Amino acid sequence: MEEGQIYHIYQNQKVFRLEDYKRESDLILARFLRKTAKYFFLVGALVLFIFFAPSIWYYLKGGVPTSISELLARTTKNAETVEVQVKPAYQPKFDASLPLENRLKIPTARIDTTINEATLDNYEEALRIGVWRVSDFGTPADRGKPLILAAHRFGYLKWSIPYRLKNSFYSLPKLKTGDTVEIIWRQRKYLYELACQDLPLCPAS
C-alpha cells in the first residue's frame, strides 16, 4: 500500500496583529466621539433656542429700543404721568443689622440681587453683573426724581441658571398688582407695593 501526504492550503489567511487591533479600536472610538459631538451640538442648539427665542421674537416685534437713552426717556415720560402720593420727609428707620450693600428683592419674581452703581457712560459694566440703578435719576431716599432700576431680561451666556433667575428681570412678567418689592438702601428697608394697572409696560394683574 502506497503512502501519501495531504496538504491543507489556506488562502488569504489573516494574521492577528496588535497594530490592527489598535487601529480598529481607534476607528470605533472616532465614530463614537463623532456621534456624541453631533448629539451635544443639537442639544446645545436646542437649549440656546429655548432661552433666546423669546428675546429674538421680542426684538423683531420692535420691542427693544434703539438705545438705552430712548428707553430711559420712555420710562421717564410714563413716570411723569403717574400721580404718586408720598411723604417727602418719611424715611424708614436705620437698621445696622441690614447689609451694607444696596439690594433689591422681589419674592414673586425670585429676584434677590445687589443694586449696582455706574454712570450712564459705563452702564454695561453694571448690567454684566445684574441690576443697575440709573445714576441720573432718584434713589429710595431721594424721591425728587423717579427711581429707575434696569437689568437684562435673559442675561449672558456665562451666567448659570440660578444666577440668572436671581440677578436678571427674566421673571418680571410674573408680577401682578399687590406684589411687594423690597429695597435695602444704606441700611434702610424700603417696601413698595406694585400698583400699575394703567401703565402700558406693566404686566396684567
pLDDT for 157: 80
Question: What distances in angstroms separate CA 196 from CA 81, 161, 203, one per listed residue?
Answer: 12, 29, 8
Q: Assess whether 40 and 96 both reside in one domain.
A: no
Reduce the DSSP state of residue 124 to 3 states and report it.
Answer: helix
Q: What is the pLDDT of residue 146?
A: 86
Q: Is 93 in the same domain as 189?
A: yes
State the DSSP code for 67.
S
Burial (CB count within 10 angstroms: exposed 0-12, middle 13-18, buried 19+), residue 102: buried
- Within 5-150, residue ranges assigned H as helices are 18-60, 68-80, 123-127
Query: Does any domain span residue 6?
Result: no
pTM of the model: 0.59
Q: Name every residue whose Cβ is closer than 8 Å to that of residue 140 and which is 6 or more positions away in sequence.
A: 147, 183, 185, 188, 190
Check whether residue 40 and residue 126 sit in a common domain: no
What cell was used for 17? 496583529
Tell me: do 88 and 154 sit in the same domain: yes
d(CA 159, CA 165): 10
**Cα–Cα distance measured from residue 47 to residue 128, given in angstroms and rounded to the nearest whole number:** 21
| 71 and 148 housed in the same domain | yes
Q: What angle do CA 184, 73, 117 make, to 5 degrees?
A: 30
> What is the predicted pLDDT for the residue at 57?
60
Tell me the pLDDT of the chain (205 aa) as tens digits. 556 565 555 555 555 565 666 677 777 878 888 888 888 888 877 877 766 666 566 556 554 444 555 565 566 556 555 555 555 668 999 999 999 999 999 999 999 999 999 988 888 889 999 999 998 888 999 888 889 999 988 888 888 889 998 999 988 888 888 889 999 999 999 999 887 654 445 555 4
Residue 75, domain member (yes or no): yes
CA distance 33 to 46: 20
Q: Which three cell numbers stand for residue 74?
A: 420712555
